[in-house]
Amino acid sequence: MTSAVGMIEVYGLVAAFVAGDAGCKAANVTIETFDRNKPANADSLPVPLIIMVKFRGSVDDVRAAVDAAEVAANKVSGVITKHIIARPETDTEKMLKLNGLDKN
C-alpha cells in the first residue's frame, strides 16, 4: 500500500529545515528529498527561493506533520501552500520523485 504524502512549500532553505524537523517530531513520518523552485518573480518574494518539503506516512501522521511544519515555517519566513495526497497514483509517484536541488 502506498503511503500518504504531505507537501508544504516554504520560503527558503532554513524554513524548510525547521519545517521538516517540526513535522518529524510531531508525527511518525519520513522526509523525502527537498525540492526547490526559483520563480521568475523571485526578487519580489520574502526569500527568493521556494522549497518543498515532502512527508511520508499514514494519512493522520502526514496531516499532523504538515500542520506542525506550517506553524514552524510561519515563525521563520512563511508558507506558500500545503497539500496532502492520501494515496498517490503510480504516475503521481513518479513525479514526486523529481527534484531540482541537484540542478543549477
In the chain, the domains with their CATH numbers are: 4-96 (3.30.70.1710)
Per-residue pLDDT, averaged over 89-101, amounts to 79
Give the pTM.
Answer: 0.87
Helices (H) then strands (E): counts for the chain: 3, 4
Per-residue pLDDT, averaged over 82-102, amounts to 83
User: What's the rounded Cα separation, in Å, for the pair 54 and 47?
Assistant: 20
pLDDT at 101: 64
pLDDT at 7: 96
Give the list of residues 6+ apart from residue 90 with CB closer than 8 angstroms, or none.
Answer: none
39-66 pLDDT tens trace = 777 778 777 788 999 999 999 999 999 9
User: Would you say residue 19 has pLDDT above 80?
Assistant: yes
